[in-house]
Amino acid sequence: MSSTVALSHAKLPRWAPALVGVVSLAAAGLPAMLLGWGLFAWLVASVLLFLAALPGWSLVVEGRRSAVDRLMTGLVWSAFGVAVLPLVWLIYVVVDQGAQAINGEFLTYSMRGVIGDEQGGVYHALIGTVFITLAATVVSVPIGILTAVYLVEYGGRSKLARWITFLVDVMTGIPSIVAGLFALALVVLIFGPAFRMGFGGSIALSLLMIPTVVRSAEEMFRLVPMDLREASYALGVPKWRTILKVVVPTAIGGVITGIVLAISRVIGETAPLLVVAGATDGVNFNLFDGRMTTLPVFIYSQYAQSTPAGYQRAWGGALVLIAIVMLLNLIARLLGKLLAPKKA
């Protein structure tokens, strides 16, 4: 007798996950109401019920393999939700609290002469953040990119390249306050113990930016196919020109992303800037003379006042800082698309 083998098996309907999700929410809602659970406990119980019910149903109908697949898919989505939920909640809280402080005066006035619950503004901190971060970027990006070029194109397996890689990895884990103390020691050594300036903060931020720029640019350069380099060498193009015209343009999208990540990493630093750049309630456009206030220092100082007006200014400064970081990321994505090599 000939036996037939089924090439298909039973499957759950497409709406099965939605149905299990609704039932899990309802089933977890009953003990949540009876025992007085909060929203978070109710959601956790619902997720656990969902992760047990859907694979169990799939095991009965579809078989073991599909049940394991649905279980792992549920775990992946749960991990994604755990990672995204705090970020969404953070943005919601900052926007909800900070939007109340945002207006024309807040963005165009400094804290000079502000007493008590008067309006005041974040203008001086915004200028300080832009100037100090821009100076740190100007210092860090050339050093970081050229170091990455040496490690990938010239260093190879040399002892110097290994030492540079080791030191870059060590610098990646340096606490920000240590970078601030180093910059302070440098400024004090040159200008005296009572001197503070914005460029000192740029030096501290540069120490934190350079490792990120080096590592990100190095990885992007290594992803450029060797065939492109060899094709350029075969045409008689010198190595420096190959790097400039082939390697860098090919990797420019990832390099820009790494630079923006480095800027986003340091733009929210407080401790090093408070130590070496100080704080002031007025606008200072000179990086090399006098104290400068940045947005993180402004947020810290306003929150430290422990007054309703101070709290509101702090939340407003936090919202402005997040908006700047988001704008930088949008610009990086746009530049990456515009400067990336065109596909045939």
Among the candidates 98, 131, 156, a domain finishes at 98
> What pLDDT does 174 receive?
85
pLDDT over 50 (residue 1): no
Residue range 281-286: mean pLDDT, rounded: 83
Q: What is the CA radius of gyration of the chain?
A: 27
Do 79 and 140 fall within a single domain?
Answer: no
Contact call for residues 219 and 254 (beta carbons, < 8 A)? yes
Task: Kindly report, residue by residue over 220-251, the tens digit of the pLDDT.
Answer: 998 888 888 888 888 888 888 898 888 888 88
Contact call for residues 118 and 288 (beta carbons, < 8 A)? no
Do 173 and 216 fall within a single domain?
Answer: yes
Do 188 and 321 fall within a single domain?
Answer: yes
- Please check whether residue 171 lies inside any domain of the structure: yes
Instruction: Please state, as a whole number, how many other Cβ atoms lie within 10 Å of the Cβ of residue 191.
Output: 14
Confidence of residue 137 (pLDDT cuts 50, 70, 90): very high
> What pLDDT does 342 receive?
66
- Please check whether residue 74 lies inside any domain of the structure: yes
> What pLDDT does 116 receive?
65
> What pLDDT does 138 receive?
93
Among the candidates 51, 82, 98, a domain finishes at 98
Tokens of 329: 């990321």
Show the CA angle centred on residue 152, arms to residues 149 and 154, nearest 5°: 80
Do 246 and 157 fall within a single domain?
Answer: yes
When the pLDDT of each residue in the chain is averaged and rounded to a whole number, the result is: 85
- Please check whether residue 112 lies inside any domain of the structure: no
- Please check whether residue 228 lies inside any domain of the structure: yes
Concatenated DSSP letters of 229-250: HHHHHHTT--HHHHIIIIIHHH
Do 132 and 237 fall within a single domain?
Answer: yes
Dist CA 101 CA 57 (whole Å): 51
Confidence of residue 303 (pLDDT cuts 50, 70, 90): confident
Query: Strands, E, within the chain: which ranges?
Result: none
Dist CA 196 CA 177 (whole Å): 16
> What pLDDT does 6 receive?
54
Confidence of residue 10 (pLDDT cuts 50, 70, 90): confident
Show the CA angle centred on residue 56, arms to residues 51 and 57, nearest 5°: 110
> What pLDDT does 271 receive?
83
Do 57 and 136 fall within a single domain?
Answer: no
Dist CA 134 CA 122 (whole Å): 18
Task: Kindly report, residue by residue over 249-262, the tens digit of the pLDDT.
Answer: 888 888 888 888 88
- Please check whether residue 108 lies inside any domain of the structure: no
Query: Strands, E, within 45-117: which ranges?
Result: none
> What pLDDT does 343 receive?
62
Helix (H) or strand (E) holding 200: helix 198-222
Do 289 and 140 fall within a single domain?
Answer: yes
Among the candidates 98, 115, 132, a domain finishes at 98
Do 174 and 230 fall within a single domain?
Answer: yes
- Please check whether residue 234 lies inside any domain of the structure: yes
How many domains is the chain built from? 2
The proportion of the chain whose per-residue pLDDT surpasses 70, expressed as a percent, equals 95
Confidence of residue 72 (pLDDT cuts 50, 70, 90): very high
Tell me the pTM: 0.80
Do 238 and 277 fall within a single domain?
Answer: yes
The proportion of the chain whose per-residue pLDDT surpasses 90, expressed as a percent, equals 12
| Cβ neighbours of residue 98 closer than 8 Å, sequence gap 6 or more | 315, 316, 317, 318, 319, 320
Q: Which domain holds residue 172?
A: 123-339
Task: Kindly report, residue by residue over 78-121, the tens digit of the pLDDT.
Answer: 899 888 988 888 888 889 888 888 888 888 888 787 776 667 78
Do 85 and 133 fall within a single domain?
Answer: no
Do 129 and 94 fall within a single domain?
Answer: no
- Please check whether residue 4 lies inside any domain of the structure: no
Do 69 and 177 fall within a single domain?
Answer: no
Show the CA angle centred on residue 266, arms to residues 262 and 267, nearest 5°: 110
- Please check whether residue 286 lies inside any domain of the structure: yes
